[in-house]
Chains A and B, each alone.
Chain A
Amino acid sequence: MTTVLTTPESVRELLAALAERQMAAGETPGAPAPDPVNLPMIRHWTAAMGDRNPVYTDEEFAARSVHGGIVAPPAMAQVWTMPGLGGERSPTPVDDVLAALDEHGFTGVVATNCEQTYHRYLRPGDRLVPATRMTGFAGPKRTALGEGYFVTWEVTWYASGEAVNSMVFRVLKFRPRERKSQPGIRKSYPLRPAVNRDTEFFWEGVRKGELRIQRCARCGELRHPPGPMCPRCRSADRTHVTASGVGTVYSYVVHHHPPVPGRETPFVVAVVELPEGVRIVGNVVDCRYEEVGIGMPVRVAYRRMDEDLILPMWVPRES
């Protein structure tokens, strides 16, 4: 019994070797189209697309046209051999490669290119048979979605042995980025408040469930955020009061982008006006962001972000 080591290099080699084999396998025929090219399906398609080109549906116009009769829209090429509702997709050489990518964590998929070439227009009665060969494999590459591989294949459609249409199709199979915060495991919150001699009293209050506001020890002026000197009388003597913990939203923004470490977007950042007379910045939580508005009554709530950090936030209250 040998031990199989899966290092990134071994995965890369394994996938590349599989891709080589599948590309060497050449063209694999698929199941013939369930129906020949037909006017009812063309009519449904053109109606849904809003395509009023009469060569597709108007027998008289089509008969007088360059085509001499009804033709199918070229972009319907792939439609004729779609498996349909409950139909079975026939196997192709690409399947094993996509499955191997899934198995190694590249579970995301997004189509990137679709290139169709039409050798001739299809006519009602044409019976199509698809054949697929894998033509490209590139990666791993860093992409906006995550690390991934580009897989390319080519489908050729045959009518009575004649190649009538072909399509090159490319997908990116990517490793989706890790979802943050698994339940039960509290990671350290990545953002820390700046705690210094001016602000220490505030964070000590937060730990005790008190919303503390700095007050000038000489003139009594309240100020927030805390600072070393009173802006009114310039005294450096300071103390604090404990606010009631209610307020109203004075202004706010909804943050959608860019991403913020440790946070799920969107979130609300508000300026909350306190009845004591100062304004304080904080998140409004426990409601949908659409419900937040100027003048909204809120009260403070203390949220534990990790083992060491509690942040004051604001939740809706009845006015």
Chain B
Amino acid sequence: MRTLSQGQIAVGTDLPELSIDLTPTMVISTALATMDFTPVHHDVAAARAQGSQDIFVNILTTMGLVERYVTDWTGPEVMITAINVKLGVPAYAGDRLVFTGTVTAESGGEYTVEVRGRVSLGDHAVGTVRFRPPGESA
């Protein structure tokens, strides 16, 4: 499994789109794998009782999926240094989360990718992921 090196990454490059079907299994298994047992992430009745249309993805999972989106593209051996996410509309079970991204900056061997995760209601998460390709010392 290869990792992109510095010469293979250019500012302006678009990342391939990643589309994730938010099945109830996906929403629930990720919530529990992130140790988040808040009922709105696994109990439909509890989610509806508090005004949500369905169970929805928890924030720790949003962070995980944003990270995965970038490392799926870079390959395994980059060093992720920061993930900044502005949270938007909920990502409900039954919806689809589609990530798009663009490399927007490079500074001292550290790259910034702007990531946008959209669902049918609008932007679920918009933010940046920063990483260093292998061979670049911090």
Residues of A near any B CB (own CB < 8 A):
41, 44-45, 47-55, 61, 65-67, 73-76, 78-79, 82-85, 110-118, 121
**A66: chain B residues within 8 A (beta carbon):** 77, 79, 134
Question: How many residues of chain B have a CB within 8 Å of chain A?
Answer: 35
**Could you tell me if B87 and A113 are in contact, using CB atoms closer than 8 angstroms?**
yes
**Could you tell me if A78 and B82 are in contact, using CB atoms closer than 8 angstroms?**
no
**Could you tell me if A114 and B80 are in contact, using CB atoms closer than 8 angstroms?**
no
Per-residue interface assignment for chain B, residues 65 to 106, with 1 indicating a CB less than 8 Å from any chain A CB and 0 otherwise = 111100110001101111111110000000000000000000
A-B CB pair tally, cutoff 8 Å: 104
Q: List 18 A-B contacts (CB under 8 A).
A: A41-B33, A45-B34, A45-B64, A49-B68, A51-B71, A52-B72, A65-B76, A66-B77, A75-B63, A78-B60, A82-B34, A82-B35, A82-B36, A113-B85, A113-B87, A116-B83, A116-B84, A118-B80
User: Is B112's CB within 8 Å of the partner chain A?
Assistant: no
User: Is B44's CB within 8 Å of the partner chain A?
Assistant: no
**Could you tell me if A53 and B71 are in contact, using CB atoms closer than 8 angstroms?**
yes
**Could you tell me if B77 and A65 are in contact, using CB atoms closer than 8 angstroms?**
yes
Nearest CB of A to B34, in Å: 5
> DSSP majority for the A interface?
mixed
The answer for the CA separation of A49 and B20 in the assembled complex, in Å, is 10
**B77: chain A residues within 8 A (beta carbon):** 55, 65-67
**Could you tell me if B76 and A50 are in contact, using CB atoms closer than 8 angstroms?**
no
A45-B33, A75-B63, A85-B37 given; A51·B68 CB < 8 A: yes
**Could you tell me if A73 and B85 are in contact, using CB atoms closer than 8 angstroms?**
no
**Could you tell me if B87 and A115 are in contact, using CB atoms closer than 8 angstroms?**
no
**Could you tell me if B67 and A115 are in contact, using CB atoms closer than 8 angstroms?**
no
**Could you tell me if A74 and B67 are in contact, using CB atoms closer than 8 angstroms?**
yes
A48-B30, A75-B66 given; A114·B85 CB < 8 A: yes
A75-B66, A79-B60 given; A54·B1 CB < 8 A: yes
**Could you tell me if B66 and A84 are in contact, using CB atoms closer than 8 angstroms?**
no
- 7 nearest A-B pairs in the assembled complex, by CB-CB distance: A82-B35, A48-B33, A75-B67, A48-B29, A115-B84, A51-B68, A48-B30
Query: Looking at B1, B29, B34, B36, which has the most chain A CB atoms within 10 Å of its CB?
Result: B34
**A121: chain B residues within 8 A (beta carbon):** 79
Which of B20, B35, B59, B65 makes the CB contact (< 8 A) with A111?
B59
Which of B30, B35, B82 makes the CB contact (< 8 A) with A116?
B82
